[in-house]
Chains A and B, each alone.
Chain A
Amino acid sequence: MKYNVNDKGFYGDFGGAYIPEMLYSNIDELNKNYLSIIEEDSFSKKFNYYLKKYVGRPTPLYYAKRLSEKYNSKIYLKREDLCHTGAHKINNTIGQILLAKELNKKKIIAETGAGQHGVATATVCALMGMKCVIYMGEVDIERQRPNVERMKILGAEIRPAISGSKTLKDATNEAMRHWINNPDDTHYIIGSVVGPHPYPDMVARFQSVISEEVLYQLDEVEDRNYPDYILACVGGGSNAAGIFYHYLDNKKVKLIGIEAGGMGIETKKSAATTTLGNKGILHGSKTLLMQDKNGQVTEPYSISAGLDYPGIGPLHAHLFDSKRGKYISVDDNDAMNAGLELSRLEGIIPAIETAHAFAVFDRLEIKNRVVVVNLSGRGDKDLETYIKWGKY
């Protein structure tokens, strides 16, 4: 079984490019050029330069001693929270803005949910001197104030998405509409492994630096370059795709994606796509999707704005469908408790998205096993949510 993308842009049954004609030439341009550009020496030199000198890579693989003792396991944390701007998102935005420059694009647009991808995009636009417009759901603008102000300080224009649920899905719709209206000079930096091919593959490649580093970092401390388990939270699934990437074909490694259960999957106030979704087409790809029986996309819910998405990247849909990956949902309550536990045991306040991945140790057979958790983002942006939650 092949887990990565095939030459038609599909992962098994999932993926493809389901787009209106008005976007065809843009997607076709990307599709014809992305691999040759990314694989050029001069491109990877530039990409690696910025990852090292600007983002601060490689990020440490940190042995979490007290957490490991508590769960009687060997837990390593991949510290993407230490990246510049506070999350893994910048790996992708550096890659895509360099690509956009190669394609002679002058303007950048992006969607954002929690604001982490928006901040990472606004950051690289400032760095490269490019005009930046970020679409963000009106609801998310309210609950992620600090990130909104960060983007503005960085010079980005924020446009609220006021349709539908006014969250990430709707911000993505608005960004796609903007791109239809401005196809010639604009590049759309999608923030996750979603969207029409080649986006899922392109974003996964830029994020694959995470597992590329884990390969040698683990080898240094464990005498083997692979763990027994890899855990990562999944909204669209970019941090998970990045840390799974170089282990997709190594069956000794159990790949675990953690989805947002919201208030619990039985309440329907949830974003647990693999549990609640079925096959469908949204934002240009065929994937698993939360929808009603008539094919209308339903409004997801999670306490974390970054996981509040009704779909999942086609790579993950394929990993789930083929049982190569296991996907577990964690509700708001357990995620918040796990975030507080990590704060007290290791002195790291995680992003609430990331906190979901720390809530499943009890549900897996990890005794004496080597576990790598992708600590995809830090919790500074979520302080208000932590404060409202209380219980600390």
Chain B
Amino acid sequence: MNRINKLFDKKDNILSIYFTAGYPSLNDTNYIIKTLDECGVDMIEVGMPFSDPIADGPVIQNSNNIAIENGISISLLFNQLSQIRTFTQIPITLMGYLNPIYQYGYDNFINKLITCGIDGVIIPDLPLSDYKKHFKSSFNKYNLSYISLVSPNTSEERIKEIDSISKGFIYVVSSSSITGKKSEFSKNQIEYFKKINKLNLSNPTIIGFGISDKKTFNSACKYSNGAIIGSSFINSISSVKLNESIIQFVSNIK
């Protein structure tokens, strides 16, 4: 069991926060992780910026661009994360598009996940077949979580296939949309969440995309083991009052 599995074993209503590495300032990564941990957030998703994030809305696009201008890269991010386990045991996943990982080298990437103590990855444009070919055996050996997305258009058969190779949790995309769209859940969305629950998957689920405040967080928790907030968090943090803005944001949710 890694930190993700342990967390889901003992807790429900998991609050996971996404932020973009290198944003608002290049070296904020560890400070943001530490502050989120101290505020009582349960899990953290660290975004590895990409120039062309096609599943992301304007807020995360913008944080990606600024982070790249600030000089972030995967190798710098791993330098930043190298001492992370000396001060926090919060479960951490890395989220990013495939091309920067491909350039960094799959084996290098996996080695750094292990040495830094990262628990899992979310790579939205990695096909299952490529995961099986390049990642799966190391992920199993080193107990890393491969977290895959499902969306309202994912067939039942495919959800089951995804469940069978995922280890950690299933990332349930709340609606057919890119990140950062805010709205309350519709009847159709709730039907979709219920449908997934009925499948009795072996992995727990977390709802993401469109979760922006206490209300949407709480309703997501009704139909899953927790929720991920990204764009709304990015929007609320301020580089001049980083500490206060993070504390303020989390206290508004919890």
Contact B125 A24 (CB under 8 A): no
Task: Decide: A181 near B73, CB < 8 A? Known: A21-B150, A22-B151.
Answer: no
Taking a contact as CB atoms under 8 Å apart, the answer to whether B50 and A21 are in contact is: no
> Nearest Cβ in chain B — how far from A7, in angstroms?
13
Whether, in the assembled complex, B177 has its beta carbon less than 8 Å from a beta carbon of chain A, the answer is yes
B149 engages A164 (CB within 8 Å): no
B55 beta carbon closer than 8 Å to chain A:
yes
Stretch at the interface among A84-92, A129-137, A293-301, A322-330: A293-301
Residues of A within 8 A of B215 (CB): none
**Residue A346 at the B interface, CB < 8 A?**
no
In the complex, identify which listed stretch (B23-31, B86-94, B99-107) lies at the interface while the others stay far away.
B99-107
Alpha-carbon separation in the docked complex, A21 to B50 (Å) = 18
B126 part of interface (Cβ distance < 8 Å) = yes
Pick the contact of A21: B51, B58, B154 (CB < 8 A). Answer: B154
Q: B176 to A181, Cβ gap below 8 A? A: yes
- Of the candidates B57, B65, B176, the one whose C-beta lies within 8 Å of that of A22 is B176
Q: CB distance B176 to A295 under 8 Å?
A: no
Bound form: Cα–Cα A17–B125 in Å: 8
CB of A184 closer than 8 Å to a CB of B: yes
Interface contact A180-B68, CB-CB below 8 Å: no
Is A281 located at the chain interface by the 8 A CB criterion? yes
Given A281-B102, A295-B50, do A21 and B73 touch, yes or no (CB 8 Å)? no
Please tell me if A31 contacts chain B, counting CB pairs below 8 Å.
Answer: no
Report the minimal beta-carbon distance from A246 to chain B, rounded to whole angstroms.
Answer: 31
Contact string against A for B residues 83-126, beta-carbon threshold 8 Å, 1 for contact and 0 otherwise: 00000000000000111111110000000000000000000111
Assuming the A-B contacts A164-B51, A173-B52, A294-B100, are A18 and B126 also in contact, with contact meaning beta carbons closer than 8 angstroms in the complex?
A: yes
Residue in contact with B50 in the complex, picked from A22, A279, A296, CB distance below 8 Å: A296
Nearest CB in chain A: distance from B56 CB, A: 8
Which residues from chain B contact A281 at a C-beta distance below 8 Å?
Answer: 97-99, 102, 125
B253 contacts chain A at the CB level, 8 A cutoff: no
B177 contacts A297, C-beta separation under 8 Å: no
B54, B75, B148: the one within 8 Å of A180 (CB) = B54
What are the residues of chain B within 8 A of A283 when measuring CB–CB?
52, 54
A284 at interface, CB cutoff 8 A: yes
B99's partner among A173, A183, A184, A289 (CB-CB below 8 A) is: A289
- Binding site secondary structure of chain B: loop
Count B interface residues, CB 8 Å: 40
Say if the beta carbon of A30 comes within 8 Å of chain B.
no
Contacts of A181 in B (CB 8 A): 176-178, 181
Q: Given A176-B54, A281-B125: A22 and B153 within 8 A (CB)? A: yes
From B68, B150, B155, B181, give the contact of A296 (CB < 8 A): B68
Q: Which residues in B have their C-beta under 8 angstroms from that of A21?
A: 124, 148-151, 154, 173
Q: Which of A284-328 contact B (CB under 8 A)?
A: 284, 289, 291, 293-297
Tell me if A169 is interfacial: C-beta within 8 Å of chain B: yes
Q: Assess the A297–B99 pair: CB atoms within 8 A.
A: yes
- A182–B52 CA distance with the chains assembled, in angstroms: 19
Q: Can you list 10 A-B contacts with CB-CB less than 8 angstroms, sorted by A residue number?
A: A20-B124, A26-B153, A163-B58, A164-B52, A281-B97, A281-B102, A294-B100, A295-B50, A295-B102, A297-B99
Binding site for A on B (CB under 8 A): 49-52, 54-55, 57-58, 61, 65, 68, 73-75, 97-104, 124-127, 130, 148-151, 153-155, 158, 173, 176-178, 181
Write the residues of chain A forming the contact surface with B, with a CB cutoff of 8 angstroms: 16-22, 24-26, 163-164, 169, 173, 176-177, 180-184, 279-284, 289, 291, 293-297
The 8 closest A-B pairs by CB, nearest first: A295-B100, A295-B103, A25-B153, A20-B124, A294-B73, A21-B149, A296-B51, A20-B55
